[in-house]
Amino acid sequence: MYRKFFMFATLAALPSLAAAQRGGSRTQADKPVDMFSKEDEQAMRPTLRLGDLEDQSPLKLLIDKRKDLKLSDAQLADFKTKKSTLEDKSAPTLKLADSLINQLRSAPSSDDARAKARFTALALGHVIESLRATYDSAGTDAVAALDGEQQPKAKELLDKQKQDGTKMLQKKMGAGGRS
């Protein structure tokens, strides 16, 4: 009789002891794991603003640095006219970029939304490339309009702006930069 009782007690206690050894009913491996926490998702969203793209305008830079370049009044007036033309030309591209940036910021965290966000980020990268090509062309034309003494300084300023702009885009696009 004691044997039956001892066997029954062992069978009843054994699962409890096993569960206690594992640290409860669920192990760490059994718990569901989120690949990205809410903080990670927020960190991956871009902090890029439309103004960041507008600030990459080479004509805006050259006008701002008019004293360093020693621009004449006629050159300054010409650059302001060209800047206005460039703004009109790049307005649709900037509007599209703004729309894509807003889509990326408001992306929900479902798997379908993540796939859509990757596609949107890729599209934004292409829009930014297009805008940079427009800006590069305008910068080249502006430098060509300067005299021989002003050109080296202008090229230096524009090269630095382009390098800084690339770093800024990588930082503000999140997740290591997508553009």
Instruction: Write out pLDDT tens, residues 131-168.
Output: 999 999 999 999 999 999 999 999 999 999 999 999 99
pLDDT the model gives residue 83: 95
Residue 179 has pLDDT above 50, yes or no: no
Give the range among 15-24, 52-61, 63-72, 82-91 with minimum mean pLDDT.
15-24
Residue 42 has pLDDT above 70, yes or no: no
Give the tokens for residue 115. Answer: 């796939």
pLDDT the model gives residue 4: 58
CA distances from 119 to 79, 100, 124, 166 (A): 37, 10, 9, 21
Q: Which amino acid is at 177?
A: G
Residue 7 has pLDDT above 60, yes or no: no
Residue ranges of the domains in the chain? 47-173
The pLDDT of 12-39, averaged and rounded, is 54
The helix or strand, by DSSP H or E, that contains position 3, with its residue range, turns out to be helix 2-22
Percent of the chain whose pLDDT exceeds 90: 52
The pLDDT of 60-67, averaged and rounded, is 93
Give the tokens for residue 167. Answer: 């770093």
